[in-house]
Structure 1
Amino acid sequence: MMQQTPPIPEIIQAIPLQSYLILSTALFVIGIIGVLTRRNAIVIFMSIELMLNAANLLLIAFSSYKSDASGQVFVFFIMAVAAAEVAVGLAIIVMIYRNTRTIDVGFLNKLKW
């Protein structure tokens, strides 16, 4: 007789909450390091998205452990806003590249008045 897999919430709850906290913290720290040390605008943009996904992971983990769907609803809205941010941010980066032929943040700092 074939054994059925448990539903998703039971699988998620089998992983301790501390593992989600460690993974999310590691992702967030990697994102912060990327924002603070890189000069390429696209890499900085990806690091910001990584930090957003770390926060989403925590919301989903806490939502699952509390058996409350409100965290998952927040993640849905955060992902919708992040998608709009990506569209606008990449459009700005493309326009900056067309005008200056670089996306180096150090060079763009010189464009201040």
Structure 2
Amino acid sequence: MIPLAHFMLVSAILFCIGLYAVLAKKNAIMILIGIEFMLNAAILNFVAFSKHDKIALGGQVFALFAIVLAAATVAVTLAIILNVYKYYRTIDPTKIDQLRD
């Protein structure tokens, strides 16, 4: 059986990679991928702690809910990114300085 500390370490590494992608990248798609990495780190923690407590399945149920929510969020965010690209011809968030003409 894999110890809980190993799950926590992998989750912390995933979260740090996601945080770096959000803070350092100037591409909206890479920022979205960074947010997904951070969300997957949280989901991994939910499942690891739920597996550690052999009786309760609340963490796994909440992880499933978070995965569904993440999929819906990605769909909406990609639609917004495509519309912004159609109007501004860039996906660099720093170059989008106004929302209306």
TM range (shorter): over 0.9
1:77 pairs with one of 61, 65, 80: 65
* Runs of at least 5 residues in structure 2 that lack an aligned partner in the other structure: none
Tell me, in whole angstroms, the C-alpha distance in 1 between the residues paired with 2:72 and 2:21.
21
Tell me, in whole angstroms, the C-alpha distance in 2 between the residues paired with 1:99 and 1:69.
46
The normalised TM-score by structure 1 is 0.84
Bigger radius of gyration: 1
Cα deviation, residue 112, structure 1: 5.8
Map of 1:100 onto structure 2: 88
Structural RMSD (CA)? 1.1
Cα deviation, residue 111, structure 1: 1.8
Q: Structure 1 counterpart of 2:27, which letter?
A: N
1:44 has 2:40 as partner: no
* Runs of at least 5 residues in structure 1 that lack an aligned partner in the other structure: 1-13
1:61 has 2:48 as partner: yes
Superposition misfits of 4+ residues, deviation over 4 angstroms:
none
The normalised TM-score by structure 2 is 0.94
